[in-house]
Amino acid sequence: MLTDLIKYLCIMEKTRPNIRAVEVAEIERFIAKIEEKPFRVKQIVEWLWQKHAHSFDEMTNLSLDLRKKLVEHFTLPALSIDTTQMSSDGTLKTRFRTFDDHMIEGVLIPTTLRKTACVSSQIGCSLSCKFCATGYMERSRNLNFDEIYDQVVMIKQQVEKTYDQNLSNIVFMGMGEPLLNYKNVLKAIEKITSPEGLGMSARRITVSTAGVAKQIKQLGDDQVKFKLALSLHAANDKKRNEIMPINESNNIEALIEALNYFYKKTGNEITFEYILFKDFNDSEKDAMELVKIYRQVPADLVNVIEYNAIDRFPFDKPDEEGFETFVEILQKNRVNVRVRRSRGKDIDAACGQLANKDN
């Protein structure tokens, strides 16, 4: 009998739609069908996107009977917090659990001027970048748009509780390749920026990509409002092929063309991300090749990033003198460059370290 009950519950779970994934019109039809007042629709939508309810029981201005009917007709899957770790520098790493028991990680990066949420877009990653811990994980699935939204909401709540400030920025630089989960990422951003959601400015959101040329162009065609960052990390195809297999099908020439197309269509800010690896991409020749690429794209900035070691990648970071020399070459050649120091290294929360690893 118990087995039959479990089977029945599983069937019911699959047949009931996720209420956050349906159109408002479907909620309206449901409310009309059960002869509830039309204003209940607005209340429900507010609970879902502004009050961030993670269960129907939390919708306390709805009657118990209505909440019961919602449970019978819809599901409301949501992320939950599995663990949270705080770094000595104030960075917070959170491991989130999905409704189907997968784990993903998101990071709150605090600085004096900004409080930034670094969020994931996939469970694992299929791109296998050699310097990234996530790249050694299998990609289980894409995150749904509401799961991405939940990450932002919960990190926003952490900012308010820990720092008594507002979340200022969002970067899609966590686990996964955002442009390989294109529809969910864009729909999540739509909700994040909507007045019916978090009401954040799209200009405070940056989507980072390892370089999917076709989808970069699609962003241009879709007239997105957010910023774009390209994880470059090597300024010639030979070296980039070694550390980023995606370059074999999306080489630097194709990416330059795609970025120019994106800028022509949107005028949005473009940033290059460049991690320095000792004796690999940190020479004067490497710097000048990066200058050449920078001059072919209307990029606003090059972020030169301190490498954060992971177990399987044999490279190391340059010494401080080598790091500064590389940056100085860029500056002398009129590259707008910013040095990005690692934060959260002691809890494996820094760039490239997210892998659901317990400390």
Please name every residue paired with 92 in a beta bridge, in sequence order, or none if there are none.
86, 108
Q: Give dist(CA 269, CA 267) in Å, integer.
A: 7
The secondary structure of residue 212, as a DSSP letter, is -
* Angle (CA) 140 230 252, round 5°: 105
**Which helix (DSSP H) or strand (DSSP E) does residue 322 occupy?**
helix 320-332
Active-site choice (10, 23, 105, 132): 105
Spell out the residues 6+ positions from residue 39 whose beta carbon is closer than 8 angstroms to its own.
Answer: none
- Check if 10 is active-site: no
How far apart CA 18 and CA 315 sit, in angstroms, is 45
Torsion angle, CA of 310/316/319/325, rounded to 10 degrees? Answer: -110
Q: Is beta strand 92-97 parallel, antiparallel or unpaired with respect to 80-86?
A: antiparallel
Question: DSSP secondary-structure letter at 123?
Answer: E
Which of 118, 129, 132, 351 does the annotation list as catalytic? 351
State how beta strands 301-306 and 270-276 pair. parallel
Q: Is 305 helix (H, G, I), strand (E, B) or coil?
A: strand
Is 105 among the residues known to form the active site? yes
Q: How far apart are CA 311 and CA 132, in angstroms?
A: 10
Listed in sequence order, the residues at least 6 apart from 353 whose beta carbon sits closer than 8 Å to its beta carbon are: 133, 308, 310, 344, 345
Per-residue CA distances from 167 to 34, 178, 340 (Å): 39, 21, 20
Q: What is the residue whose two structure tokens read 């009657």?
A: 63
Adjacent-strand bridge partners of 31: none
The DSSP secondary-structure symbol of 309 reads: -
**Collapsing DSSP states into helix, strand and coil, what is residue 68?**
helix
φ, ψ of residue 69 in degrees (nearest 5): -65, -35
User: Residues 6 or more apart from 46 whose CB is under 8 A from it?
Assistant: none
Annotated catalytic residues are 105, 351
